[in-house]
Structure 1
Amino acid sequence: MDWEWLKEFARGMIKPVAALAVVLMAMLLSYLQRLGLEGEMIYSIFRSFLQLSIIGFVLQFIFNQSSSIWIVVAYLFMVSVAGYTAGQRAKHVPRGKYVAGASILAGTAVTMFLLILLNVFPFTPRYIIPVAGMMVGNAMTVTGVTMKRLRDDIKIQITLVETALALGATPRQATMQQVKRSLVIALSPVLDNAKTVGLISLPGAMTGLIMGGASPLEAIQLQIVVMNMLIGASTVSSIMSTYMSWPSFFTKAYQLQTKVFISD
């Protein structure tokens, strides 16, 4: 059996292990300030090391496969984990995990389809999986915030919503302002990041390319594509999540489901 890949991996881990020095510094500061975060730091670093190592081997395996089915499997796995995580954030939204998962799937799939159709990225694991990971991660955050904020806003203004319903408004009309507010709040960080990209910090994709030897001009071309796709996927996913959350907030008689807004 050829163990050359394992030797190469071990040699490559020298610098990551050396970088643990800054974590030790953080642990020392936590100890001196009596924050009690030393154990949490150790756990976080160990978990990130384990997860990234496993993912590295999995991606190495997928990249060496000729079948495109592995791209789909990896993508659906990421969407499933993201849907569960976003659903946990919006835990008071009925079927929140399924709503989040379906919303993330819709937003990222539509965006990815357009990028492939326009020949922005080739349909290969080396391109699609990292790109999908960035989109799914961003859509996960936005979707979770949208769903949680929408439910919380309706709860805060429940009297206003019920009054609108009593006057004959549809659920969409009665909650239009709450929906708009939740979408604006959820999407604002993505838009702010696009406005300040390159001015405050260099994004991960751009930094990775530059450190990998690519020219800054090539790096910014990819980063522009990344920012565009993040805005597209996040917007579609967040809007989809509001439409899919509505049925669980109202009865068939256009009345609020009181039990959804009781617990905290």
Structure 2
Amino acid sequence: MDLYNSSFWMDFFEGMMKPVASTAVVVMALILSFSQKLALEAEMIHATVRSFLQLSVVGFVLQFIFAQKNAGWVLLAYFFMVCVAGYTAGQRAKLVPRGKWIAGASILTGTAATMLLPIALNVLPFTPQYFVPVAGMMVGHAMAVTGVTMKKLHEDIRIQKNLVETALALGATPRQATKQQVKSSLVMALSPDLDSVKTVGLITLPGTMTGLIMAGASPLEAIQLQIVITNMLVGACVVSSIASAYLCLLVFFTGSFQLDQKVFAMD
């Protein structure tokens, strides 16, 4: 990427004309919001401008990383995504102590295992063009399920605190005492993704498959990569959500196997 090359900038600005023109649909949405008195105009503008700027910056960053052909830059991009995802998921579960660290560790565990296995099996090549986009999808889905798992588990244990404490008093370990709450939180977090996997290709064409087809690849080639990515998404979500649930138990209970009352103080 030669930033000092005038032809590069000419091609860039020429290519950006289509994204700019596509904001016409946002203007339509703004008009509808205003006519219906939804008061969402400011939020729409903020979201649109922010996404435009973020994607533009990401485009330059990825262009730079792809040009380097260096594994260090690829892994740096991956760890950056994990850190941002961990912070975001931790924010969703604010009542979980050290929630950001738990979310980050869970997302790292789930996505790393899910990325390494296909690479080891030579299913996915370890190149920036493959690894960074696929890792982004894995991290994004893992972030969503991790945040829901942590928040739901905290809520369920707080609501059913008496049942958990009774089980503990009868000699159960924290994991045994919260077995049903953990199961409920995992089912709640994973169900949307599993439902999406069940209907993939029937209701909507996934983004990866759509992008490949629009880029000129044959539909058969597109579905092969999409199946790989779909399987990886399932693995990343399941591993990350389970990891977050059991890591939460470490901060929900004291060293003497008692519920930490400060964590579950009723509002």
TM-score range, shorter chain: over 0.9
Within the candidate set 233, 238, 241, 2:241 is matched to 238
C-alpha distance in 1 between matches for 2:26 and 2:266: 39
Give, in whole Å, the separation in 1 of the partners of 2:199 and 2:25: 28
Structure 2 residue 51 is the aligned partner of structure 1 residue 48: yes
1:98 correspondence with 2:110: no
Residues 130-180 of structure 1: CA deviation (Å, up to 9, x unaligned): 000000000000000001000100011011111111111110110000001
* Identical aligned residues as a percent: 68
Partner of residue 184, structure 1: 187
2:180 equivalent to 1:173? no
The structure 2 residue matched to 1:261, chosen from 255, 259, 264, is 264
TM-score in terms of structure 1 length: 0.98
Amino acid at match of 1:206: M
Q: TM-score, normalised by structure 2?
A: 0.97
Distance 1:3 1:61 in 2: 17
1:22-44 Cα distance to aligned partner (Å, 9 max, x none): 10010000000111111111111
Match of 1:75 among 71, 75, 78: 78
Give the unaligned 5+ runs of structure 2: none
State which of 193, 197, 202 in structure 2 corresponds to 1:194. Answer: 197
Q: Is the 8 A contact 2:33 2:41 kept in 1?
A: yes
Specify the alignment match of 2:153 in structure 1. Answer: 150
- Mark the CA change 1:56 to 1:263 in structure 2 (over 3 Å): closer, same or farther: farther
2:251 aligned to 243, 248, 251, which one? 248
Give the direction of change, closer, same or farther, for the CA distance of 1:62–1:10 in structure 2 (3 Å limit): same
Is 1:118 aligned to residue 93 of structure 2? no
Q: What is the one-letter code of the residue matched to 2:142? A: A
Superposition map of 1:217-228 within 5 A:
217-228=220-231
Distance 2:59 2:102 in 1: 30
Q: What's 1:10 paired with?
A: 13
How far residue 247 of structure 1 moved from its aligned partner, in angstroms, is 1.3
Shift of 1:10: 0.6
What is the deviation of 1:263? Answer: 5.5
Q: Give the superposition deviation at 1:115.
A: 1.0
Aligned partners of 1:226 and 1:190: how far apart in 2?
13
SS in 1 for 2:257: coil
Amino acid corresponding to residue 90 of structure 1 in structure 2: A
Residue 89 (structure 1) aligned to one of 84, 87, 92: 92
Find the aligned partners of 2:10 and 2:40 in 1 and give their Cα distance: 34
CA contact 2:165–2:258 (8 Å) conserved in 1: yes
Where does residue 216 of structure 1 map in the other structure? 219
